[in-house]
Every structure is written in structure tokens, then in C-alpha cells.
Amino acid sequence: MNKENSFQLNNTQLVLPDAVVSGSIEVVDGKIVSIDEGSSSSGYDCRGDYLIPGLVEIHTDHLEGHYSPRPGVRWNPVAAIQAHDAQIASAGITTVLDCLRMGTDETDDYAPDEMLSLANYIQTASEQDRLRAEHFLHLRCEVSSPNVLDDCAQFHDHDNIIIMSLMDHAPGQRQFTDFAVFEHHHRKKNGMDESTYKAFSQRRIENSKIYSDKHRKAIASMCRQRDIALASHDDATADHVADAVDLGVCIAEFPTTVEAAKAAHEGGQKVLMGAPNVVRGHSHSGNVGARELAALNMLDVLSSDYVPISLLHAPFVLSLQQKLMSLPAAIALVTANPAAAINMDDRGSLATGLRADMVLVRYEDDVPCVKCVWRAGVRVA
């Protein structure tokens, strides 16, 4: 028996798939072997705190902020990955799909092979046991970009890719159907004057017309050939969703309207929304609120997107503060549901036989606090 990943926890509120019960849990060789209701005198006393499954994050671009903390600045990639990983793990995330951008525009300053290099550093860091969470890849494909297929082609033999997502951030499209929002975003972010912005905006519109449709189809074909999950991004209409269904999309990321979310949910796609949207109470882009979709029973998965700790905070907002669902149902949005969406059936629930990915959480003053995190029975935070 490996003592490092074999232990017992008692006096905890176990958030099981269908109930919250007081009890204890035993882990042997990194797997859950027993769950018992009632008190126990052996093992670690959890003092009545919640025990939930390790969080499963399938869409976060948080790594970029560590790797490129300022425009034109590059941090040591291994150090950046470790810093990102430490923040991920301390938020209770034990499985993470790190987003890497495929396709650039003139405002980006990444070199053509920079994302592949970063992916290789992630893999090396994992192999060297430098990381606390388990890391996989999510390729975010900007279909209106002329070079998106070139970027994707660099990953032809990379076996760590779980999801590829289709996105078009051109003005007038999806997230930026409101041209004024696109203008505000890019002029503020990139410091463009009016004439520079107009030329930039027109080029983005033309590129979308030329490339988006054929790039969507090419990337969808790539996913089918390699058995990679395909996601759509920022669908706004039922027609967008219908197109996504035809391409084989199984995850609808951040639909921007109730119409699109309803069509995706009814079409069997898993509807993913941002946990920051839940915590803040609204979308930062002015799109549909995640709480609204939860109330309509159209929400399947949450993602931390740009704030790692939001993935832990959001389920407690939905359940204990907003009373929109039970705590087990809310926790499933960040554990069992995303694990099922990417066919990882060895994690995501507190159940015998599953991997002991677990988070001990104290909840006080409407804010959850991570006390301990275990991945495969080994404490990582």
C-alpha cells in the first residue's frame, strides 16, 4: 500500500452525486474504496467542511497571462506553466484543458510556432512531475484567420488534444454582433485611432467572409479523423447551432442568447457558460447571463475562463445563494458534467472505484475557501 495516497477522511459533508451527507471516505492507492455515513474516529478530522470532487476545467486561457504578462513580454515558459498550475490547483482544479490559440490577426505578437512550443513545455513539465493538476490541451481555432489551418497542422502528431473549438471574433459575428462592442473592445485594448480601427475592422470582416466557412469544415474534419471533441464558440442564433450540429459539435461554449442555448441544449449539445458570469451576475460582453440559463435548466457545464477561482465559487452562488439548484447539481456543473463531456469516466464524482480527485472546502460568508486538494489521492494543495 502506498501511504502517500492511502488515507481516510472523517467528519465531512460529502457532496455525492445526488445528496449531501455527513460521513467519511477512504482512499487506497489513489482511488476511493469506501464512503460511509455517520461519524468515524479514525483518519483526518475535516471539521464538518464540504468534500467535493476535484474540479474539471475544459476551457481556460489563463495560461497566456502568465506566459505573456505584458505585450511583447515572454516569461520563462516552464516557470509560467508552473505559476498557472499552482493557481489552478489552489482553486481546486485537478484536471485542466489549457487553451492555446490557433490563428492570429495583426494585433497578436505571437511567433508562428510559439503555441506548439508552449504545448511541448506543458507536456515536458507533466512528464517531469512539476505540475499539481493533470493538464491536457484545448485548441481555440479562430476560423476567420488566414493562418489557422497552418497553426493546427503543427499539432498533427500531438496526442494530448481533447477539444478543438470553432470561433469567429470578427465584427458582426457571434460575440461581437454589436459593432459598437467590438469597436470599444479593440480600440481600448490596442489603442487604435479611428482610421486605424476602421481599416482593421474592414479587414477582419473580409477575412471572415473568405475563410470562416471553409476553415470550420476543415477543422471539423480534422476532429472526426482524430476523435477529438469539437466545440462551437459564441453561437447567437438557432441557425448557428444547426450549422454546428451538422459539423459534429458536441459542446456549445458561451452561447450569447437564450435562443442559441435552447437550440443547443435541445440538440444534445452540452451548454457551457462562464463561471465569472455566474459570480458577477451578468456577462462582461453584455450577452445572456449564466444564471438565467441555469434557471431555465439550460446549463450543463461551467468554465473558469479567465478567473480560476470562479469555478469553485460559482456552484455555491447557484445553489446556496441563488437557490437555483441543489448543491450536488451545481457541483456537477464543474465536475461530473465536464468529465462526461470529454469522456473521462474515471473522475468527476465521489464514488467508489473512481480516482480520488477531491477538494476540501470551507464555506463561510458566501465565499468558499479551499483547505486541501488531492489528485489521485496525493495532496497537491
Mean pLDDT per 10-residue interval, the chain, length 381 residues: 79 97 96 90 91 98 93 94 98 98 80 94 97 98 94 95 90 59 58 71 81 95 97 93 96 96 95 97 84 97 96 98 98 98 97 98 96 97 96
The whole-number pLDDT of residue 149 equals: 97
**Residue 155 · residue 223 · CB < 8 Å:** no
Rounded CA-CA distance 335/329 in Å is: 10
Rounded CA-CA distance 245/111 in Å is: 33
Q: Beta strand 50-53 with 31-37: parallel, antiparallel or unpaired?
A: unpaired
Rounded CA-CA distance 318/341 in Å is: 21
Phi then psi for 146, rounded to 5 degrees?
Answer: -60, -30
Tell me the H-state helices in the chain: 63-67, 77-90, 114-127, 148-153, 179-190, 194-226, 238-247, 258-266, 275-280, 290-295, 310-316, 327-332, 336-341
Question: From residue 38, how far is each of 13, 35, 354, 380 by CA, in Å?
Answer: 10, 10, 21, 27
The whole-number pLDDT of residue 150 equals: 96
Task: Show the cell assigned to 53.
Answer: 470532487
Question: From residue 3, how far is each of 8, 29, 130, 258, 319 by CA, in Å?
Answer: 11, 8, 21, 50, 36
Please state the domain extents for the chain.
1-53+347-381, 55-344
**Residue 284 · residue 315 · CB < 8 Å:** no
The topology under which CATH files domain 1-53+347-381 is Urease, subunit C; domain 1 (2.30.40)
Question: From residue 313, how far is each of 17, 58, 302 by CA, in Å?
Answer: 18, 16, 11
Q: Is 116 left (phi over 0), alpha (psi -120 to 50) or beta?
A: alpha
The whole-number pLDDT of residue 124 equals: 96
Which pTM does this prediction carry? 0.92
Q: Beta strand 50-53 with 358-364: parallel, antiparallel or unpaired?
A: antiparallel
> Do 1-53+347-381 and 55-344 come out as alike in CATH topology?
no
Question: From residue 42, how far is each of 26, 32, 150 by CA, in Å?
Answer: 10, 16, 57
Q: What are the residues facing 44 on neighbouring strands?
A: 9
The whole-number pLDDT of residue 242 equals: 95
Three-state SS string over 155-205 comes to: CCCCCCEEEEEEECCCCCCHHHCCHHHHHHHHHHHHCCCHHHHHHHHHHHH
The whole-number pLDDT of residue 180 equals: 57
Those residues with Cβ within 8 angstroms of residue 339's Cβ, 6 or more apart along the chain or in another chain: 56, 95, 345, 347, 348, 349
* 80-98 pLDDT tens trace: 999 999 999 999 999 999 9
**Residue 20 · residue 331 · CB < 8 Å:** no
Task: Show the cell assigned to 207.
Answer: 477575412
Rounded CA-CA distance 183/169 in Å is: 12
Rounded CA-CA distance 94/381 in Å is: 10
The whole-number pLDDT of residue 292 equals: 96
What would the DSSP string read from start to end of 115-131? HHHHHHHHHHHHHTT--
For domain 55-344, give the CATH superfamily.
Answer: Metal-dependent hydrolases (3.20.20.140)
The whole-number pLDDT of residue 87 equals: 97
